[in-house]
Structures are given as structure tokens and as C-alpha cells.
Structure 1
């Protein structure tokens, strides 16, 4: 079975921005006004907490931006967040990108929802994107969302099939609805595969500003505790904090399951890669790229653009050779994939 290789290609299935947008449809492209003769300076992204170098979520957005700049021959700009910033700070950041001539302007992460809502209303001829939020309803805003619970279900199947201790772990960065989707899918995948497997769970913080997505030390401590409780497979949905989870797993020679990007391939995690069994990925890169492409082609639309297992927008990575050698696991994953994409298996989005 080819997973990420197939899925990354299919990730361009997210390309159906115009086709798969499910909210109000009107076109909106016009930075300094491409329809009125102006020209966009290129694509801009405003990073979520963790910023560039998180080896997962933000880096995937960067890859999409870089590909768009290269393939479409447009400019690019990425702006880092600041510690303890307010919605007003985010609003100012997006406004400055618009004034500099960028289109589209993309907020990476649900925390940008208030800012995107405010700024998009002031600049209706500019296309905006927001990753991981579908609450902003506007003709010039694309809500780029994912069925993370489906990839997490496959991670749960993997954990249940590979655990020897019959205990597996989950570390969530922040106790919010988005990360609940990862937990819900993972636990369901574990229990559907082997009801006797115990899942130990921990969220690092209640709020993002307390470092749940940006503190590898917190992730490491949480994973160490779960491993001490018997977990021999630990899945994280914790952004940069997940590096600590992976480090803890490698130190104890147990399996880690990464998130968002294929973490087996991340240079910063190379010394731990032997213990990164797989990663539950979502193709943020394709979503960013496709939105930029739609603006260049003057056919951008607002609305919800949902990437799921069937479209190839979420997946399970297969880069680790050991993962591909596990025949029983591969058979179980194939069955699970078929069940999800056919609709036979309904994966919960809440615990």
C-alpha cells in the first residue's frame, strides 16, 4: 500500500478549491485589484504559534508557499508570531500584508479567526485563507480544514496493532476542539482494532498561550509519564512540543507517531527517526498552494474547503521501512482505509 506517496499526489485533490468550496461561492481576487488592472505581490502566510521550524504544521504551510512562489513565479512572505500577542496584533499583521500588496493572505491556525474576519471585511477584493477554522463566513475567505480524525483513526489502528504492552499514549498540545479531533479518531481506531488496549491521554495546557504547542520540554515530560505507565506507542498532536514526545519515545526505545508532516523525514528529528513509526499527516502544503494558484488564475472562491482521507488531504505516512514490513498492520490499515472512504466506518470528531 502506498500511503503518503499516493496521498501527497492526491493532496492536490485539495486543488478543487473552486469545486469543493462548500459555502457561499463568489469569486474574489484583487490584491491591489487584479481584476481592475493591479497585480498581486504574491502569497503571504502569517504563522501560528511555534512559527517556522516546528517540523509539522507551520513548516507544511511554508512548503506550500515555497512551491507556489516557484511554480507560479510569484512573490512570497511569511511573518512570525510574537509571544503573548493579542487578536489586535494578528489583525495588524494581516492588514500590513494586504497593504504591502500580497494576495492571498493566509492565517495559519484557528487563532487567526477573529483577525481574518475583521480584515477580510475591510478588504473584500483580497482573498484570505485560514487553516483549521471554518467559522469565518465570507465570499473572499477560504476556510482550509481537514478531517484529522480520519488520519488519527489510522494512527490508532497502528498503535493497537504494534503495542506489546497493551497500553498506548496520546499527548495533545492544547485542550481545544481541534485537538479533540485527533484524540477522538485515535482512541476509536485503537478500540475498534483491540478493545483491550488501554489509552492514556494528556493535554499539555488549557490555552495555546501557555505553551502547549511550543514547549518540547512539556511534551517530553508528558510522554515520559505515559511510558512509565506502560505505553509503548505514543501519538502526539502537539506541534513543536511533539519533538519532546518523540525524544522521550526514542530514549526508551518505544514507538512514536508523529503528526501533520511526515516527521520521519524531518532533518531536526533525524537522530530519533528509527523510533518514528509513522505520522498522521494533513496536506496543509497543498491547501496553501492551491489557494495561491486560484488567485493567480483569477478563480478563487470563498467557503469551506475540506480535505479528508478520500480526497487524499489526510493520510498516514509510510516512510519508515519497518512500518512497511508489518504485513498484519498493512492489511488492517487497508481494511480501515476502505471502511472510512466508503462510509462504512464513521469516525468521530469528538471524544
Structure 2
């Protein structure tokens, strides 16, 4: 199997697994217990917290959560006033915003997936924008949106799940949601960064272990998250160069007949979303069943609906459903990517014969 679905999840880094194993094998103490074993587990959690915080703005605190979905729910439900979000946000933002019953304003994007900011409605309390889009890889002007939010008296929430450790997070944001399994860490743990001076009412009740967030933390998951974050920092330049080279090779190899979805310039290069006229994506995935790639967000797979991200760019339902997403990164080799691209392209062309 050639794995090219890095936006859905990334392979676990060996270093993250190594950091987790002692807490899975022997370190079973509750990190919130006062005895020595509990304090040792707590120390591991705090080391991980510092490692995760090192890739985030200063002047705030990291609160561990079960993942980015919980972090986004907490940030949105814990603030007041109207909500402003871009049209290409993840469902964890758009669905949560709709569920609050508060006024929701959706900012459109242009044909390359770049937000088109408009006047902020009176009474807005929160602006939410992705740093890097999970479907098309475009990078949003989060700093400019944060300035606009603060000018309107609102807070700025950044969904940095796809960009954390890869694209700098502006210092002016107020809330940041991140997830371990998108940076080669384990599934089941994420975090919400909260700027100093901001207090959110609890989303979960029953212990307040994290100072606003209840629930027993897993030292193993936290340690894995911390190790993955530390590795992202250490390998930042190497990973960026590797991904950039893979992107250039993949785009050149695909050749004519494929059209890029999203901005060619303002983007993270580990995400290649392309379309081909009349492509039957289900048939393509069946023909290339030993290659893991995607027809869009894993969270919306099987819905039968065209991607809301691609239709927001102005694509027709037909074009949106003729698009695929190829995601690659640190552990993708040039040889396997070229092999996969050739097979995908050959299978796509065969549909027209």
C-alpha cells in the first residue's frame, strides 16, 4: 500500500511511539493523583505541554483535549456573540457554529480558495479561519483576519490542525486548535491554546483536571504528542524541502489533463488537490485500491455530496466530484509517489478509452 492521505492522518513517528511506550507498558498511574507515581506521570504531561507550546504563540496556555474537534467545540461554544467563519472551514467549525444558534456569517472565498473579507457584522464575537485548508491546502491570511476581528471587538480562532508545525501561526490570534495525529503523533489527543486573559466556560464538567477542561489525561498520548511536536520543530526545514520537492515532481508528472484546485502560490505543498474532466473517482479508487488517496475530507467521505470546499471555489458539482486529493509528507519517498502518480494518471486516462 502506498499511503498518500496525509491530510486525513499521518503515520506515527517512531520517536513518538518510543516516547509513548513506557507509559503504555508500566506508567499506568493517573497523572492527577498526588502519590509519587502520579506525580511522575504528571511530569511527563507537563514536559509534553511545553513541547507542544514551543510551536505556538507566546502569552497563552496549552490545554490538552481529546482532539481538535473538542478544542474547536470548546472555543466556539465558550465564546459569545455572532460567529464569522470562512466558507471552506472544516465541519467541526461550521456545524458547531450552526449548533450554537447564534448568528453565523459565512465569508466567501475566491476561485483559488482565498477568503474575501467583508465588513464584520455588529455583535460579532468570534471570527474563525483555518490556517491551512484540509482539502485544498490553501493558506489563509489569518493575521489580517485577526486584525479585523480585534477592530470589531471580536476574538480570533485559528484552526491550525493542518498547518501546526508547518506554517507560522500569527501571534495575534486568541484561540488555536491543533491535533496530534496530523503531525505524526497519536490519535485521540489534541489541544486548545488559549491566550492569557481569556476564560472559557467548561465544555465538559466533572473534575476540572486541566483548569477549564475535565477528564483524565493519558500520559502516553500526551508524551507522543509532545515528541511529535518536538520533531516537527527539529525537522522543519528538512520536511519543508522534502515536501516541496515532492510537490514539484508530482505536478510535473501529472502533466496535461489535470487542473489544480486552490491557489498555486498561497498553499502548503503537501496537499495536491486536482480534478480531471469527467473523472469517475469511485472507479479510479477501485482501480488503484492499493494506493491510499482521497476524494476529499475523510470526515465527509461517503456522504455522496460534493465537497463544500470545492463548490465554494465556484466549481460545479460535476467538477467537484471529479476531484481527488493526494497528500504526502515526511515518510513519502520519491519513488513511491512517482509510481502512484503514474498509476493514477494511467487509470484516469483509461476511463476515456
The TM-score, its normalising length taken from structure 2, stands at 0.34
More helix by percentage: 1
- Is the radius of gyration larger for structure 1 or structure 2? 2
Q: TM-score, normalised by structure 1?
A: 0.34
